[in-house]
Amino acid sequence: MDVQRIEWDEQAAMLLDGRIDVGYVRLPIDEAGLRVTPLYAEPRVAVLPAGHRFAGREQITEADLAGEPLVWQADASTQPTRRPHPNAGYLVRGVDETLEHVAAGRGISFLARSATVFYSHPDVSYVPIPDLAPDQVCLAVAASRSSPVVDDFFTAAQATAEITAECGNYEMWQQLGSGAVSKHG
């Protein structure tokens, strides 16, 4: 098995043209021609410049960030908020680009909780925002593709989805004694 990192905007195309067999994807994704199976939902965090007035808070609400320009990977209809944010004018392709734009003060963003474990930036603060809809993680494969290996992978992924979801749990990593993880950048 080979593992490949792909950006948000490449997921569907790479599954459909056969460059990858199975993908862990986050909604929204163009599901045309794909078989998409939900695995787990992950809480979201606000991604703020380190000097933002809400940086370092224990948690905030969506209303706290009303009107803030948003650095986002797709059109406004995919924002996880109930009220749309103005577009900051920067279309990002992945978490690294998101963090760079936020760190530069160009806007705020929202990411899954696992970003607090796997991505750090000295000029970015992550703040839980529990009133946002959770980030949905799914397994996807081209609908036309079927094989025992793919079916076995789906079965194994579904059986371990709860454990996989905990990989993005900052508190779990702290309990394991990982001193390398920084909650706020």
CB burial string 97-135: b at 16+ within 10 A, e below: bbbbbbbeebbbbbbbbbbbbebbbeebbbbbbeebeeb
Of 85-94, 132-141, 173-182, where does mean pLDDT reach its minimum?
173-182
Query: What mean pLDDT is reported for the chain?
Result: 84
CA distance 154 to 156: 6
Please give the model's pTM, rounded to 2 decimal places. 0.80
Residue 182 confidence (pLDDT): 38
CA distances from 48 to 100, 109, 119, 151, 168 (A): 11, 7, 14, 40, 19
